[in-house]
Structure 1
């Protein structure tokens, strides 16, 4: 059967780009039929069946077939009523003239409702364009003498496709670019009331010109933040043209500056295959700078790429002065009246929390639905819900990204642990004082990037039981009680390498649902308000747990420092320096007033220096410039 020979061409065209010469989906046909007008107009039809029947081509009948694409009746059809009695059917539908050349592809989708009747459809071509001669009589062809394809040419019962099948003809035999007309001919002998004809649908008619040399720039790896220094770009291209690719150029441009070109040779990329590259010119990243990067595949096989719509990718990044350890933040929207919330918590989240709670910080916002909702709902929790666009619960957000609650405990664990390996671009420490109806949070931030961000602080109660509702849960963890100073947070404008500190506070009103004041914690986090990305999080320490530097008996100087630090009032002590996550980054013994501690290898940021000997155990905050 002819269509079987055409299927490989269809499969190949799935990944080839092309120039569309004519495309008609027959979605706007009238009833009775009005052939397409406008840019794809100029369609005509003539019924030369003998004896001729009452029907021409018509809008699709959904009782027989539904369309390949578009509205259910958005296709064109023809049937046995083209003839009267037992007849020879020759019912023509002719497309408007278009200029084509060898290698262009003409295609359409077709099918019949069932396999009881043979039916037959021809695709024919006239090389006279608008001067084409229409056929006359049931056997006449006019100037449409070239048979391009014949679907079920031998009128075999069951030979016509009963599912939408693409028929493709590749133009050949022309001397150059020629104005041509293509026509569909419903051609059945023994049709009409005979046994050979029934109903045929046609959809998605198209004439296109494949592109020979065409690479698609599929991806370029550019993190949103890059530590200062040289950074090389890795990317992937895909051959979506008809020729194999043996060479190509990739360019990148930063902030509208000079083009950086890399010519890649010695490859052999088959149609449909991909190729990975590392650009030969790296970007010199400067801390505090922002970069708008445009990548482009400009040349393929030493010629201009034939299809430009898929050539470019734009990426934005900023330069960082360094990095530190990152602490993930989980925010959960839930309720004591939500049945699915209880199922998720019992099966997945609570076991995960028990096993992994040291690896992340966690805030739960109790919601006011399903009715009557959790009695510990607050308007500030509602602001956070609106910020993320949460409209159903349980909703889990990890580092500012919605995470599927359909995943199991193992998958959740893997995801959070992977998030914890990301670099952090803010050193963050904080202490809190929760007394006298006030929440006071002192924070210290060492930014490694320049920009505008929002500092949030959430007062949470580690365990609540008075808000038990209807879903069967008997207690709730890390329930948000108050945002400090409010749910909008505090805007911080940062400069890479320049530490900042400050204090935020809020009144904890009598209407707050705190069950045990001794069970409170404060989670402090920095967020990008535009992307919603959590940049860093930290569980604030008790303000009374560390002595203030000014009151400490031991003095550390200089503070901040770039290279070396020393101590006063110290004898034979062990010095242990930890970063904001508690990781030990330097330890030495036998330190006295004459000792010099080299800290030049430490990243810029805030550290805790523990000084311990037989008579003292003190901790001092230290800023590394």
Structure 2
């Protein structure tokens, strides 16, 4: 921008505008642009906006700190495009190098006739030497980074069953960005899905340092913030975490082709380095999963289990592809698997392939192929209602209005903030109100879950105070 200097009372709210874009064939779009900022702190700034319906005007893309190098100021006095947040400066330290900003554009996926504009709000040049905004390399592309959520569970454990329902819900809400694998462990109860092939879950848990259920790792769980037990909303990943990962430009791409035969499957995997250089050792894993298993009954009567890991290929410990990667270098692996006798329905089979840095354990990229497309499949998830509880805070006795389906029995599970189960109580079918003796609970904050047939039907927050 070329700002007028020292003009008293000068204000400007101007923009540069794009032609129309067609997003009708895009599923996971992102926008990327290079910026350099030189604004008067907290006074001037800029935003990116889009228009999909003319009558609705211009809408701001994203929120404060919502993407990668996205809006960094939430108190811009000149309100570019009517927004108090955007790209700005809190202290006058202008950018001296280009900064690449990225944000998802899911709001316009599948639409046509989309226009964009970059709006600047300013009072012109001031004595501190502000120069406005520089923009380059505006780009729209598909997000190609896929995340992997590895969930370690046990069908005989009530806490794990409750966590399973939350994992399923999380996947359905974010299935364009994440693939989930559910390993059934041999503890704490006897799990028939583990008995079918116990070595792959045990080996993977040992490799990743997992010794409890429920437990989940996002992209290898290399940071503590990517390890969860899904026992409460406080121990589950938020959608923003996944969106940020999906905005990363991956160092590798994976091409997966699967030939589903009558009694077996054959697959070819090609891994290509997209970065200039990558020095780490890359390990490839392929998990054979069954998207819906209904042959067994778990805790609370649960009879449907998602994305159960049946086997790991080419071995339980994966395949080392080596190091010394450079742009364009490829590695290929051929896989084969004969359908096992415990497969319930071959049409529910799938292959999920991921590559992992052998040293850091970070999962770098993933791909999947299912015999039956998974779009729109929702086998187990229900939307839990908010439990009505009184009195709350409670002292000796708590009444819970259950709501929802009351035809079958259910289980009330109380946990503390660490996720530890402090109380479990069966609820007989047909009763809409249940009385709970909480006199033995210490004063504090608790989470209450109602689980029925393995599904999370209701949840609430309880305070014990005397």
Q: TM-score, normalised by structure 1?
A: 0.34
Q: Which has the higher strand share?
A: 1
Name the structure, 1 or 2, with higher relative contact order (CA <8 Å, separation 6+).
2
Q: TM-score, normalised by structure 2?
A: 0.44
